Amino acid sequence: MENHNDSSGYWRANVRLILGCLVIWALCSYGFGILLRPLLAGIRIGGTDLGFWFAQQGAIIVFMVLIFFYAWRMNKLDKQYGVDEE
């Protein structure tokens, strides 16, 4: 990995990662669970429609996956920019 020592690049990458995670989380929780629920009503999963599943469980699962993804990706960014803990 390349050591950049560029704090503005590090924060730009960090903010881009945060915004990407927030967009995915909002799409899954608000988009699929509320706005797109009528479109997802015909798709059945686990005995209920997909929109209800996202509103009740899917958004939480996606949020948990995003937490682990964010931690993994931030560790890579920290190493790339030389600010990781040794």
**Is residue 58 over pLDDT 50?**
yes
Instruction: Assign 4 a pLDDT band (cuts: 50, 70, 90).
Output: low
| Residue 30 contacts residue 22 (beta carbons within 8 Å) | no
Q: Which residues contact 32 (CB under 8 A, 6 or more apart)?
A: 40, 50, 51, 54, 55, 58, 59
Residue 3: is its pLDDT beyond 60? Answer: no
pLDDT tens-digit series, residues 68-82 = 999 999 999 999 998
Mean pLDDT of 51-69: 88
pTM: 0.77
